Copies of this chain bind each other. A is one copy, B any other.
Amino acid sequence: MTNRHRGGTGLAGIASPAAAPARRIGAGAAVFRQGDPATAVYIVESGRIRLVRHLADGSLVSLHTAREGDAFAEASLWSEVYHCDAVAEVPSRVLALPKPDLLRSLETDQAACLAFARLMAEQVRELRARLELRNIRSAPERVLAWLRVQAAGVPGVVPLDRTWSAVAEDLGLTKEAVYRALAALERAGEIRREAKRVVLRDTGI
């Protein structure tokens, strides 16, 4: 569902004609801290970056977990400072797109601005779909809905390029719950599991 499954954000293309240097972030280290002047938008090359906000009462709230291929802190383009910490959960590599460059691109290059707007609009659509998926409480139904959406290409066939554990995270379920759901769906004849794909029941429509 996220960018890593489509092969990149395209953000880099918009902003940096020249290759930006990748920063290495150790596990637990911060890319930036809340209150730091906002200087760049980032793309995760590898690893996992967690965005957390420190609240007035000292508590923490996680705002986002950016994975390989995801961009983060896009909205900081219009903010003087970062409003959260960006901390690496595992050793990571991030690409920094300097804010001035990006902003200049967007302000002077109409096409770049449109491309960026489009990128964001598509993110919005995708995120809404994910959120809506989570409104399905039943694990089997949630998994089935996910499978159906994934089967967009070849109708009825979901190719699997990721592990079920990763899928489980996207779905907001544990891997065990997903396995059980898959088993139940298969038992019910809704799906058939093959080598590296899942075939949905042919409803004959």
Q: Which A residues have a C-beta under 8 Å from some C-beta of B?
A: 53, 55-59, 61-65, 74-75, 77-78, 106-107, 110, 113-114, 116-118, 120-125, 127-135, 145, 148-149, 151, 155-156, 172, 200-203, 205
Which one of B62, B75, B133 contacts A124 once the chains associate, using CB atoms below 8 Å? B75
- Of all A-B residue pairs in the complex, the 9 with the closest CB atoms, nearest first, are A120-B120, A56-B155, A127-B127, A117-B117, A64-B128, A58-B205, A57-B203, A113-B113, A75-B125
In the complex, the chain B residue whose C-beta lies closest to that of A65 is B132
Is A134 a contact of B134 with CB atoms below 8 Å? Answer: yes
Which one of B61, B124, B134 contacts A148 once the chains associate, using CB atoms below 8 Å? B61
Tell me the smallest distance from the CB of A156 to a CB of chain B, in Å: 7
Which one of B58, B74, B124, B172 contacts A135 once the chains associate, using CB atoms below 8 Å? B172
What chain B residues lie within 8 Å of A128 (beta carbons)? 63-64, 127
Is A55 a contact of B117 with CB atoms below 8 Å? Answer: no
What chain B residues lie within 8 Å of A116 (beta carbons)? 117
Q: Contacts A107-B114, A172-B135: A57 and B205 contacting too (C-beta < 8 A)?
A: yes
Which one of B57, B75, B121 contacts A74 once the chains associate, using CB atoms below 8 Å? B121
Q: Contacts A56-B205, A134-B172: A78 and B118 contacting too (C-beta < 8 A)?
A: yes
Tell me the smallest distance from the CB of A48 to a CB of chain B, in Å: 13
